[in-house]
Amino acid sequence: MNKQVVVVGAGVIGLLTAFNLAMKGAQVTVCEQGEVGRESSWAGGGIVSPLYPWRYSAAVTALAHWSQDFYPQLAERLLASTGIDPEVHTTGLYWLDLPEQDQALEWAEQQQRPLREVDIAQVYDAVPVLGPGFAQAIYMAGVANVRNPRLVKALTAALKGLPNVTVHEQCQVRGFVHGQGRVTGVDIVTDSGARVLGADDVVLCAGAWSGDLLRTLDLELPVQPVKGQMILFKCAEDFLPSMVLANGRYAIPRRDGHILVGSTLEYTGYDKQPTQQALESLKASAFELLPALEEAEVVGHWAGLRPGSPEGVPFIGQVPEHPGLWLNCGHFRNGLVLAPASCQLLCDLLSGAAPIIDPAPYAPAGRLG
């Protein structure tokens, strides 16, 4: 693919989009307004599944299933090429006292996913640190989590190893440049001043900030920042053998014994300040799920901004009113889950290859204001 492509945004979606396009032969420039991968991609939990997959549309399910199957080979490829292991950690996931358990099991049967009801005594045998009082559970084997900061580092290292990729940090994109009826680049500001960065195509992967940029074209993208807060505990490596989820909160074990507990869902604009109220709420959930965490050290508490979108269906494809401008954004709570499929689909569409799945549900046409 003999094209010059600018990718706006260097979270996991932007980095993997750039990687896929570069592997197709494109000359790719990535523009990131801050530091690479330090927004939603760094802040999330990294469960390689929607928290409640049966609540989502077929569009999200299709991306999720493709990505879940692809993640292990992506991790192996990145480890082999960079020496950085994204740590795709397969633990399975227990949902405890789920109100819509029957609906979940029905969905699993329709989708042929390995979700099953488990006797609660077996759960306590498998997860001895689980708190008391839970009455029922379902379990999906094979659900993994990825250590998202390491995934960002691995993708960044992979891009730096490619001669046809340039990554600019602290590079503010102020708007889009047009010529001959199409988008031909972006207007950027860096420490060295303002200039135009030309391109055959521009891909917008700016997460929660994507809508702000499209407003410069008088387009309304229904993507808004949704704050999420997390806390991190340090435990023994064998403390928690599986991910567990109850009452909307989850605990995720990392291989080295760190336990992530999250998360909040807050509509507070671009405010990323962690709050004492959220910390206390998350701690209460953590201690209810896993009482032994009361004795564990809290080693982190942070907030990030998800790109909230209607029903969590991302925008993937070309903006019809502005040829040459492409979107890959609006993944809401599932950016890490959906990234491999979303980025491959975008690359297929931009390069003219046969798409991995039907692109129609994600097309920007008819979905922008």
Q: Is 112 left (phi over 0), alpha (psi -120 to 50) or beta?
A: left
Q: Is 74 left (phi over 0), alpha (psi -120 to 50) or beta?
A: alpha
- Per-residue pLDDT for 23 more than 90? yes
pTM here is 0.97
What phi and psi, each to the nearest 5 degrees, are found at residue 363? -60, 135
Arithmetic mean of pLDDT, 169-190: 97
Instruction: Give, rounded to a whole angstrom, the gap between the first and last alpha carbons of the chain.
Output: 32
Rounded Cα gap, residues 330 and 229, in angstroms: 19
What local confidence, expressed as pLDDT, does residue 180 receive? 92
* H or E element, residue 349: helix 335-351
What local confidence, expressed as pLDDT, does residue 258 receive? 97
Find out if CATH 3.50.50.60 is the number for domain 4-54+150-223+310-362.
yes
Dmax of the chain from CA atoms?
Answer: 68
What local confidence, expressed as pLDDT, does residue 101 receive? 97
What is the number of residues in the chain? 369
- Per-residue pLDDT for 73 more than 90? yes
Rounded Cα gap, residues 176 and 310, in angstroms: 25
- Per-residue pLDDT for 332 more than 90? yes
What phi and psi, each to the nearest 5 degrees, are found at residue 222? -75, 60
Query: Who contacts 23 (Cβ-Cβ below 8 Å, separation ≥6)?
Result: none
Rounded Cα gap, residues 239 and 236, in angstroms: 5
Specify the CATH number of the domain 93-141+224-308: 3.30.9.10
What phi and psi, each to the nearest 5 degrees, are found at residue 117? -75, 140
User: Residue 311 in 3-state DSSP?
Assistant: helix
The domain ranges of the chain are 4-54+150-223+310-362, 93-141+224-308
What local confidence, expressed as pLDDT, does residue 369 receive? 85
What local confidence, expressed as pLDDT, does residue 337 receive? 96
- Please give the full DSSP string across 189-242, using - where no structure is assigned: EETTEEEEEE-SEEEE--GGGHHHHHGGGT-----EEEEEEEEEEE--TTS-SS
Rounded Cα gap, residues 338 and 346, in angstroms: 12
Arithmetic mean of pLDDT, 338-366: 98
Q: Please, are residues 84 and 78 in contact by the beta-carbon 8 Å criterion?
A: yes
Arithmetic mean of pLDDT, 306-310: 96
Rounded Cα gap, residues 291 and 278, in angstroms: 18
Arithmetic mean of pLDDT, 335-361: 98
Structure confidence by residue, pLDDT tens digits, 256-305: 999 999 999 999 999 999 999 999 999 999 999 999 999 999 999 999 99
Rounded Cα gap, residues 44 and 334, in angstroms: 9
Q: Which two tokens stand for residue 253?
A: 């074990």
CB atoms within 10 A of CB 189: 14
CA dihedral 364, 366, 368, 369 (to 10 degrees): 170
Rounded Cα gap, residues 210 and 205, in angstroms: 7
Structure confidence by residue, pLDDT tens digits, 36-72: 999 999 999 999 999 999 999 999 999 999 999 999 9
Q: Which residue has the tokens 């896993």?
A: 290
Structure confidence by residue, pLDDT tens digits, 198-236: 999 999 999 999 999 999 999 999 999 999 999 999 999
What local confidence, expressed as pLDDT, does residue 339 receive? 98
What phi and psi, each to the nearest 5 degrees, are found at residue 362? -105, -5
